[in-house]
């Protein structure tokens, strides 16, 4: 049993935190207001090796473990949860290729991502299907050496700027999850219609859109793992991506906590800093406990993955607990700041808006509980 | 070109400094060490010079403890090729440090074309090592440098002087150049850079190897203590015009009798 990071991991954390504090935090408010992607910041993060952490070394990546990528994600979300969503969405889109792609597909799709900064988009959710991922309606039909894709996708992160779209569809909706198929579509393929940018509560800089696929034709060579093999790829992707989203919740929560501690020491009421009032102390103590517990769950879920052990249940523990904790911590941070907390001029208001999304995307907090209960009752 | 950079490892700027229990130095056990921020400018400048002069090498040199080799690893992760460490306590004086740096540079077997340093270390703020080192090596030196251009043999540097004005120097290399903020924007050490740095050669020398002994010490630290706590300030009530005259008299009186500054 060892809770210490390795010397490498300490250096990774140092760099990612330095980047978060020096490059992301000073611009987080500005890009939240403008609701624009900070392309220069994202590209700089990529040039330092902080993006696409899931790409294995043999395809040009840095060969990070899952724990390594959690450390990076937590730090980047500390800087700005919205910017981190744009960065994390790349991993989410590339993971199905890492997990289910052939050697040829990995070389074709992953390696170029390590040579130039490009964005990727994971296309699963539809206007009528979110939590019920097995019920997706977008069709993938065989046609000679090609497959033809038709359907609508919704809430797609990085949609407007992605070079790669990794899409889940079905060869036959009546097959439910047995018909799910994953396919890679390159930007510029005829029939892709990108919708308008959504005006969101939080993560406002991240580019979220609907996409319509109209008779989009790609070679069968772009299908990951073969037709009807998408469901298990999707499930394995979640085992990695859910701890990652949980790590982002830890980063956001830690940032809200650090602001709160600093403010509680400065703000004087009844002639003493509010840090000396017990009700504030209780909130700060609860925050600290929840952050540490969330982080340990994230690291354990990632550690299981790195050791080839089943982690579905832990991944859901981490996702639900960290997301719900982050929401509570961000809400309490606003409470500690009082009137100032409600103002956009202070940083905790944005974190509270950003925190809400973590409870929703990558499986809602409710879905995580269903996953956990299913794991418990089917064993 | 053979480019050398001297770096120091200093406590992180956010560290709360406390004297050690016996008062002989500061408590170092819980300190997080970083590369002296001014030295980052020196490393960056070395890498820029290297990029402009094909075939150049960048060697980093440091004198200090081996508890953490953060500064040297960071420099190599940024792109420096190799490093020399002279193992020593962290409380050496400037003269001994300069002597050890000179020895390490000579032990590298490469004749320096330029030696870059930060203008000062942010821990003891001595601002002496670059000048002492230059004197020992019989090289010209310019400090507080904010602008740099030139070839492998001749450079023009700008240094900041009082009042924000600049002095411009033409310097024949080799020379010791001490960098200030503004000369460049240091790059981050990238993650691939951090991984590569582990495979780069790091040579460790002892103080004896460097020919430095206690006899070289020009400054001995006798005691470290925190500055006395500031007494609370005095407040004067001058909220309305009527009180103003009395307050002014009182303040002037106290400045004379108590603070004794006028």
Nearest to A19 among B188, B194, B195 (CB): B188
Q: Give one DSSP letter per residue of A23-79, joined into a string.
A: IIHHHHHHHHHHT---HHHHHHHHHTT-S-TTS-GGGTS----HHHHHHHHHHHHHH
Closest CA to B45 of B198, B140, B158: B158
B129-137 helix and B94-107 helix, angle to the nearest 10 degrees: 50
Residue of chain A minimizing CA distance to B68:
A7
- Chain B residues whose beta carbon lies within 8 Å of the beta carbon of residue A79: none
Sign of CA pseudo-dihedral A325, A331, A333, A335:
negative
Sign of CA pseudo-dihedral A317, A318, A323, A324:
positive
- pLDDT-derived band of residue A370, with 50, 70 and 90 as boundaries? very high
Q: Which residues of A172-185 are buried (b: 16+ CB within 10 A; e: fewer)?
A: eeeeebebbbbbbb
- A49 with B190: Cβ contact below 8 A: yes
What positions of A carry a catalytic annotation?
362
Please state, in angstroms and rounded to a whole number, the distance separating the CA atoms of residues B184 and A229: 53
- pLDDT-derived band of residue A213, with 50, 70 and 90 as boundaries? very high
- A15 with B192: Cβ contact below 8 A: no
User: How near does any CA of chain A get to the CA of B190, in Å?
Assistant: 4
CB count within 10 Å of CB A150 equals: 16
Q: Is the pLDDT of residue A133 over 80?
A: yes
- B73 with A11: Cβ contact below 8 A: yes
* Bigger pLDDT: A112 vs B195: A112
Average pLDDT over residues A271-277: 97
- A62 with B191: Cβ contact below 8 A: yes
- B192 with A49: Cβ contact below 8 A: yes
Residue A361: the pLDDT is 95
> What are the boundaries of each domain within chain A?
7-115, 120-228, 231-377
* Bigger pLDDT: B260 vs A293: A293
Sign of CA pseudo-dihedral A243, A245, A248, A253:
negative
Average pLDDT over residues A149-178: 96
Least confident of A202-206, A277-281, A313-317, B243-247: B243-247
Cβ pairs bridging A and B (under 8 Å): 25
Please state, in angstroms and rounded to a whole number, the distance separating the CA atoms of residues B130 and B128: 6
Looking at domain A120-228, its CATH superfamily turns out to be Butyryl-CoA Dehydrogenase, subunit A, domain 2 (2.40.110.10)
User: How near does any CA of chain B get to the CA of A92, in Å?
Assistant: 20
Looking at domain B2-216, its CATH superfamily turns out to be HUPs (3.40.50.620)
Residue of chain B minimizing CA distance to A23:
B188
Residue A101: the pLDDT is 97
- B190 with A48: Cβ contact below 8 A: yes
Residue A111: the pLDDT is 97
- Chain B residues whose beta carbon lies within 8 Å of the beta carbon of residue A50: 191
> What are the boundaries of each domain within chain B?
2-216, 230-262
Residue B40: the pLDDT is 97
Nearest to A48 among B73, B191, B195 (CB): B191
Residue B218: the pLDDT is 93
- A12 with B189: Cβ contact below 8 A: no
- A11 with B194: Cβ contact below 8 A: yes
Cα angle: B257, vertex B259, B261; to 5 degrees? 95
CATH class of A7-115: mainly alpha
What dihedral do alpha carbons A217, A222, A227, A228 form, nearest 10°? -100
Least confident of A32-46, A152-166, A304-318, B62-76: B62-76
Number of C-alpha atoms within 13 angstroms, CB side, residue B134? 21
- pLDDT-derived band of residue A129, with 50, 70 and 90 as boundaries? confident
CB A263 within 8 A of CB A334: no
- The SS3 of residue A113 is helix
Cα angle: A276, vertex A277, A278; to 5 degrees? 110
The chain B residues in contact with chain A (CB within 8 A) are: 73, 77, 188-192, 194-195
Nearest to A62 among B73, B189, B192 (CB): B192
- B189 with A47: Cβ contact below 8 A: no
- Chain B residues whose beta carbon lies within 8 Å of the beta carbon of residue A261: none
Number of C-alpha atoms within 13 angstroms, CB side, residue A135? 7
- Chain A residues whose beta carbon lies within 8 Å of the beta carbon of residue B191: 12, 15, 48-50, 62
Asked, as a colleague might, if the bond just before A307 is cis with ω within 30 of 0, I would say no
Q: What is the mean pLDDT of each run of 10 residues along chain B (262 residues)?
A: 96 89 87 92 98 97 86 94 93 94 96 97 93 97 96 95 93 97 95 92 95 92 88 81 83 88 84
- Chain B residues whose beta carbon lies within 8 Å of the beta carbon of residue A12: 191, 194
**Per CATH, the architecture of A231-377 is what?**
Up-down Bundle (1.20)
**Averaged confidence pLDDT in chain A:** 96
- Chain A residues whose beta carbon lies within 8 Å of the beta carbon of residue B194: 8, 11-12, 15
Average pLDDT over residues A52-75: 96
């Amino acid at each position: 049993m060892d809770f210490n990071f390795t010397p490498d991991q300490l250096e990774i954390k140092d760099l990612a935190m330095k980047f978060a504090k020096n490059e992301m935090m000073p611009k987080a408010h500005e890009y939240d207001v403008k609701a624009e992607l900070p392309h220069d910041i994202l590209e700089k993060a990529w040039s330092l090796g902080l993006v696409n952490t899931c790409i294995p070394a043999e395809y040009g990546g840095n060969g990070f473990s899952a724990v390594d990528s959690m450390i990076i994600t937590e730090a980047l979300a500390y800087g700005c949860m919205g910017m981190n969503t744009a960065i994390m969405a790349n991993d989410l889109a590339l993971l199905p290729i890492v997990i289910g792609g052939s050697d040829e597909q990995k070389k074709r799709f992953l390696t170029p991502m390590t040579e130039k900064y490009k964005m990727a988009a994971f296309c699963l959710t539809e206007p009528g299907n979110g939590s019920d991922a097995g019920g997706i309606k977008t069709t993938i039909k065989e046609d000679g050496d090609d497959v033809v894709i038709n359907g609508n996708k919704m809430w797609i992160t990085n949609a407007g700027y992605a070079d790669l779209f990794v899409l889940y569809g079905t060869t036959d909706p009546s097959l439910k999850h047995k018909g799910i198929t994953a396919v890679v579509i390159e930007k510029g393929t005829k029939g892709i219609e990108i919708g308008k940018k959504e005006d969101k509560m939080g993560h406002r800089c991240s580019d979220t859109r609907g996409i319509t696929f109209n008779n989009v034709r790609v070679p069968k060579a772009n299908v990951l793992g073969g037709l009807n093999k998408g469901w298990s790829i999707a499930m394995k992707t979640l085992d990695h991506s859910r701890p990652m989203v949980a790590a982002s919740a830890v980063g956001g929560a830690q940032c809200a906590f650090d602001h709160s501690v600093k403010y509680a020491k400065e703000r004087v009421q009844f002639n003493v800093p509010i840090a000396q009032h017990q009700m504030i102390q209780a909130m700060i103590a609860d925050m600290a406990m929840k952050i540490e517990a969330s982080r340990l769950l994230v690291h354990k879920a990632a550690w299981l993955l790195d050791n080839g052990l089943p982690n579905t249940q832990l991944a859901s523990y981490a996702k639900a607990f960290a997301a719900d904790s982050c929401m509570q911590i961000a809400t309490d941070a606003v409470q500690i700041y009082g009137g100032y907390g409600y103002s956009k001029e202070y940083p905790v208001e944005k974190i509270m808006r950003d925190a809400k999304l973590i409870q929703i995307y990558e499986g809602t907090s409710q879905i995580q509980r269903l996953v956990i209960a299913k794991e418990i009752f089917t064993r | 070109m053979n480019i050398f950079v001297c770096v120091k490892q200093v406590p992180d700027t956010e560290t709360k400094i406390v004297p050690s229990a016996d008062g002989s130095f500061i408590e170092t056990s819980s300190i997080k060490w970083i590369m002296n921020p001014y030295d980052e400018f020196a490393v960056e400048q070395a890498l820029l010079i290297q990029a402009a002069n094909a075939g150049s090498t960048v060697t980093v040199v440091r004198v200090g403890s081996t508890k953490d080799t953060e500064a040297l690893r960071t420099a190599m992760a940024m792109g420096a090729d190799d490093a020399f460490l002279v193992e020593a306590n962290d409380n050496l004086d400037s003269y001994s440090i300069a002597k050890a740096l000179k020895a390490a540079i000579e032990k590298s077997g490469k004749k320096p074309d330029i030696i870059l340093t930060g203008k000062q270390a942010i821990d003891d703020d001595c601002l002496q090592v670059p000048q002492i080192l230059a004197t020992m090596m019989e090289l010209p030196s310019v400090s507080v440098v904010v602008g740099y251009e030139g070839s492998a043999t001749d450079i023009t540097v700008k240094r900041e002087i009082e009042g924000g004005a600049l002095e411009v120097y033409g310097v024949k290399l080799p020379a010791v150049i001490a960098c200030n903020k503004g000369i460049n924007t240091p790059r981050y050490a990238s993650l691939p850079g951090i991984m590569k740095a582990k495979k780069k050669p790091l040579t460790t020398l002892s103080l004896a190897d460097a020919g430095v002994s206690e006899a070289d010490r020009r400054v001995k630290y006798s005691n470290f203590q925190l500055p006395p706590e500031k007494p609370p300030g005095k407040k004067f009530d001058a909220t309305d015009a009527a009180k103003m005259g009395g307050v002014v008299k009182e303040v002037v009186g106290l400045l004379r009798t108590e603070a004794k500054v006028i």
